Structure 1
């Protein structure tokens, strides 16, 4: 408990209460929203951090128990070892302490022990002042050990393993490597060009290597372009080991010194290199997951473009641009294919089709996917709008990441059984503009590519983190119980895939939900699940106005008493007069009068004032365009508006309406110091940028935000 509180930098009683709630089976969104008095208003990030630390420390305690049992079974458990294991705060410490007792494959030292040479090794470490090691070794000769040299070598092997297995040695060398080691990369073949050329002869202190560089060199090594190693100045390490294990003036000093050098070079150094690189990769992976997660949340929270008829276009070259028209409710109207891009270049035919669609369905915006052939398609769309738009039509670029995954999924087949797989993606692109969250939850989170090196981190870890992000976002926004799809319902707190399908089946069988209590009639949805999920499910136009708010049914009585206190009723919910009354309240005083918690009452007041609030509606809409630029049009000093498409450790990529996204390096994000790009930008932000340079040959655009107005943050 204390270690979790210290690591999370949260008060012990808050940690204890949160752990109790988690152990009782409560979900993180439920705890964060509806148990604020118990946790001291911890947010989801803090609660998930506690959950993660508790899981780690419980695993650590279990490993300690297992190690103690295994050592005790060997009859080698001493009080000192027990104390050190129980006092270990990290898993590596436990494993270092267990290492000498671990059952292992045959080693040189193990074979020497089998030959009876351990007493000779003990003799070497006794550092006698007189006598001869050779004479001592002669007494150990046998058929298995025919020479004195082999006897002494076997004894040195045992000494080397003893040194290497010492937990203090490994801990010191590992820490020394962290502080003074270098990450060194070299080309396997300098003549072969690759994207890793900057790492063909590269070295950097381990303590300064940034996460994205670690993952880059790991990938270069995996693809066999690079050789990667950790270099440590060995003289300092050997000097330490000699002071620890050596002793001058003995007839065995030189032999022990040789064994210590062998221990470091053959056993300790390779193991420490693996450990340190694993640590670097773990930290880099955690950073990559964090960046991906934060970008994903921003993408999911993109504001919906409501009440617009959308023509979605999935660009391609040879196979043509698939298109789909959806009405202002997202219902599919028509699909097809046009070929305005190379090699066909049938622009006139495509223009004729688009004109018919715009006129027939009153299309208001065209959503163009950002994949292959996107810019050629964008140019065609911009030219079309210039001729036929009439000032009423615009277009925007929509991320199509994961659209192909959705198109081939069982869910897409269920939604559009009569559509070809290739046409379903255009429907998804159109709907993503209308309601990004509702559409993107249909896709595996890791297929939505907004991050860096996400394919280089453990899939399970990435999936767990991204699933938590989607769950958090869905519950933050809330879902309409009468319109939400099964995939969307499946992310509501406490609801799994089976329950989500049961809710949809109940809705199809009995009609619209009229009140939240009907949820308890859904098959396999028990009291605990009802408690966890009901507050995040909304019913518009139902029997009880509170069902359209985030207020939990357990607080309906409190809301009723509050309304009675100010002379209002349920029929006033959301009305200007009620908002005015609520604005004049002293939350502290009313909470004391009603015997309620301040955080809960504050949330109730906010919900009564704005019952249908969607937090996404307060964010800026996507950037709509009517024309397109070429990279040749760009000149240094030009100021443009653009949309942030991706944020990574070293900067942000911004779509300014050119074929290539421009890079705003971290040093150009603001006038002051920026610790990380995500501190000032999010995916979907609409920003002002200045062109620094445009390299048409290499397709690279450098942008700056220094000295420009702040972004419109999502």
Structure 2
């Protein structure tokens, strides 16, 4: 009872006081925890710093790193990309962010120009390839570090060297001796307990090899002891991050020489029952130019490097890199400045140079030359492919495609203005007879007249010139224009499943003739049906890494198709799957939607297609056009995200967007624009310059043509077979140039 009374009389503390005390106590606990955490963190840093300091001083390199390493903070893809490609860091950061957000190169090239400083598609492709290499290298470095950590071979010195490496060749220099299960020469020497002696000797202490001899067979003589110590010293030198950096700098300053000679094995012919053949894949005489060949590396052409590599692979050539002596001399002087003992530095460096550094230099130089050659070859492929794909279509004509040949005859395929098959057959021209005697002439003449053919597409393969002359001699070329069509890949397409589905039951030889005709009518739509590597648009195709070539060609096709754009209601599956953001499955879904629901009326209808979300829509919408729909802007290259700006722009100019497709709209727009303050409008709408330029360009276009794309002209035949047919003032058009002929008398 008393206790109850006492409790009742006791004054309870105010709730606010309790709260303040709890908060104060909580803060104190947090501060204590924070201080303890910082103390632990500082302890770890101090320990790691001590380890690094010990190694830099030349002490034991066997202290294994037990803690983790902050790999993510040490490696920034944007920074590496900026360093490799020599572009501003801000641009690299924007580019990497766009890629990680799911943006494709065509989308970036057209709709995110301001973020990448208006870089052209080919330059963006180079950045993308470098970014992929950076990511692959980062992944490789991470794997190497984790592997070495698991095998307890990761020391602070090795970790520092690996993180300072700038490419795979430098990484291989450090990692190669460590990745084998067998012990390296230096590791075996360390197992014998000679490491501390080697480190002390390297730092100037006197070492008497005879004093370290023992009953162990490996340490039986002073020479063996000295050899083991040398291996340890060599290992310390070439793994040192400072030496690696100096090696890199000296390599950039050095003028190397590439030399090739003929192998002895290629000199010995192998007797055969029929004839003599060399023990090589191809005739050694093919590489006669390189039997006694020498050239400074900075003068080596890409095609020469690819030829040398192929000759070496076929064991016809021996290729080596000649390193000038001054490289070793300068490296030696640098190493002597790092360690005190000149005797052991020279012995260790001599061993490291012969076994490790010189082979690394050779690999590095060869790798750089080969990489540059591959890059140039791929560039040639992609450039030619782009021109090929962007051959100007010849619309609104009935076209006959001729696939010429000798024994198999000339295949003829005729299509209408929409590309539909009208007729197909094979004729057998007699190239030596006159038109009155040749049945093939009358057969072809009847076909051309029957279907009202207005243009002939002649394949440029076997018997092309003979067929061209035959057409001229029979006066066909004087009545109907002839276009010379590259026929590479037509035969491969003709036996594909897609071709058989498109032309069921038709002879593949005739399908190739129809394909040639369609390459005139719609080059882009027909050529994308063929795997780009079969189009024959480059050199040394089989010497380029297949994945590198395929990725580059696929990117060119996607970029080209996307930038040209397609009508979403009429485009084929082959075209749709190449559009930015789409793939095989999504293109198939669009076709299924069209067949079930009819044509799409607006770009927003794309959302109704199964499997297409916001990101996919953002990437593909600008490249998929809807003509004759509910929204006039859907027929332009303007992206839906810019519709508000485009409509406000048209309203300011007092233009009706419903008239956008009318022939007089571009002229009316330009008249209005001449007196309009465009800069003020951009500032008012807060729109980037490239986006505004795109809108202006779209309003200037005629008949929805994309004037931002430059098409190459088709090659028309003029039947010039020899110099006697040349006339003053004549123009000869080729795939890449136009020649003007002047006759000098």
User: Normalising by structure 2, what TM-score?
Assistant: 0.76
Aligned position for 1:688: 740
Aligned position for 1:23: 100
1:311-360 deviations in whole A, cap 9, x for unaligned?
A: 11222333222221111221111112223378999982322221111111
CA distance in 2, matches of 1:232, 1:620: 47
State the Cα distance separating 1:461 from its structure 2 match: 0.9
- Asked whether the 8 Å contact 1:186–1:228 carries over to 2, the reply is yes
State the Cα distance separating 1:640 from its structure 2 match: 5.9
- Asked whether the 8 Å contact 1:560–1:569 carries over to 2, the reply is no
State the Cα distance separating 1:495 from its structure 2 match: 0.6
Question: Are 1:531 and 2:618 matched, yes or no?
Answer: yes
Aligned position for 1:663: none
Question: Are 1:185 and 2:260 matched, yes or no?
Answer: yes
Question: Are 1:496 and 2:583 matched, yes or no?
Answer: yes
Aligned position for 2:287: 196
Which of 379, 398, 418 is the aligned partner of 2:469?
379
State the Cα distance separating 1:597 from its structure 2 match: 3.9
Structure 1 unaligned blocks of 5 or more: 646-682, 693-714
- Asked whether the 8 Å contact 1:170–1:272 carries over to 2, the reply is no
CA distance in 1, matches of 2:197, 2:705: 80
CA distance in 1, matches of 2:297, 2:511: 48
Aligned position for 1:294: 383
**CA 1:266–1:438 in 2, change beyond 3 Å: closer, same or farther?**
same
Matches within 5 A, 1:304-319: 304-319=393-408
State the Cα distance separating 1:219 from its structure 2 match: 1.8
Which of 340, 345, 351 is the aligned partner of 2:441?
351
Instruction: Give the match's secondary structure for 1:523.
Output: coil
Structure with a larger share of its residues in helix: 2
Matches within 5 A, 1:604-619: 604-610=695-701, 612-615=704-707, 619=711
**CA 1:348–1:480 in 2, change beyond 3 Å: closer, same or farther?**
same
**CA 1:276–1:149 in 2, change beyond 3 Å: closer, same or farther?**
same
CA distance in 1, matches of 2:242, 2:742: 55
Question: Are 1:365 and 2:455 matched, yes or no?
Answer: yes
CA distance in 1, matches of 2:361, 2:117: 42
1:631-672 deviations in whole A, cap 9, x for unaligned?
A: x7589x988644444xxxxxxxxxxxxxxxxxxxxxxxxxxx
Instruction: Give the match's secondary structure for 2:405.
Output: coil
- Asked whether the 8 Å contact 2:173–2:360 carries over to 1, the reply is no
Aligned position for 1:208: 299
- Asked whether the 8 Å contact 1:317–1:342 carries over to 2, the reply is no
State the Cα distance separating 1:158 from its structure 2 match: 4.7
Aligned position for 1:283: 372
Return 357-366 or 87-96, whichever deviates more: 87-96
Aligned position for 1:142: 216
Which of 538, 551, 563 is the aligned partner of 1:476?
563
Aligned position for 1:33: 110
- Asked whether the 8 Å contact 1:574–1:609 carries over to 2, the reply is no
**CA 1:483–1:162 in 2, change beyond 3 Å: closer, same or farther?**
same
Instruction: Give the match's secondary structure for 1:471.
Output: helix
CA distance in 2, matches of 1:10, 1:117: 48
CA distance in 2, matches of 1:440, 1:566: 41
CA distance in 1, matches of 2:119, 2:579: 20
Question: Are 1:227 and 2:279 matched, yes or no?
Answer: no
Aligned position for 2:69: none
State the Cα distance separating 1:276 from its structure 2 match: 1.6
**CA 1:335–1:258 in 2, change beyond 3 Å: closer, same or farther?**
same
**Residues paired across the two proteins, number:** 642
Aligned position for 1:445: 532
CA distance in 2, matches of 1:82, 1:111: 21
Q: CA RMSD in A?
A: 3.7
- Asked whether the 8 Å contact 2:161–2:240 carries over to 1, the reply is no
- Asked whether the 8 Å contact 2:390–2:710 carries over to 1, the reply is no
**CA 1:466–1:344 in 2, change beyond 3 Å: closer, same or farther?**
farther
Aligned position for 1:325: 414
**CA 1:219–1:641 in 2, change beyond 3 Å: closer, same or farther?**
farther
State the Cα distance separating 1:153 from its structure 2 match: 4.4
Return 557-566 or 162-171, whichever deviates more: 162-171
State the Cα distance separating 1:422 from its structure 2 match: 2.4
- Asked whether the 8 Å contact 2:178–2:184 carries over to 1, the reply is no
**CA 1:558–1:113 in 2, change beyond 3 Å: closer, same or farther?**
closer
**CA 1:80–1:115 in 2, change beyond 3 Å: closer, same or farther?**
closer
- Asked whether the 8 Å contact 2:457–2:517 carries over to 1, the reply is yes
**CA 1:187–1:318 in 2, change beyond 3 Å: closer, same or farther?**
farther
Return 550-559 or 433-442, whichever deviates more: 550-559
Aligned position for 1:520: 607
Instruction: Give the match's secondary structure for 1:334.
Output: strand
CA distance in 2, matches of 1:6, 1:58: 14
- Asked whether the 8 Å contact 2:173–2:356 carries over to 1, the reply is no
CA distance in 2, matches of 1:13, 1:149: 58
CA distance in 2, matches of 1:53, 1:359: 56
Aligned position for 1:668: none
CA distance in 1, matches of 2:548, 2:163: 28
- Asked whether the 8 Å contact 1:480–1:537 carries over to 2, the reply is yes
Give the number of the structure whose alpha-carbon radius of gyration is greater. Answer: 2
1:200-252 deviations in whole A, cap 9, x for unaligned?
A: 2110111221222211211222233322111123x4344345545679xx999
Instruction: Give the match's secondary structure for 1:224.
Output: coil
State the Cα distance separating 1:98 from its structure 2 match: 4.6
User: Normalising by structure 1, what TM-score?
Assistant: 0.79
Aligned position for 2:593: 506
State the Cα distance separating 1:438 from its structure 2 match: 0.7
Structure 2 unaligned blocks of 5 or more: 1-77, 269-282
Instruction: Give the match's secondary structure for 2:285.
Output: coil
Return 114-123 or 523-532, whichever deviates more: 114-123
**CA 1:203–1:175 in 2, change beyond 3 Å: closer, same or farther?**
farther
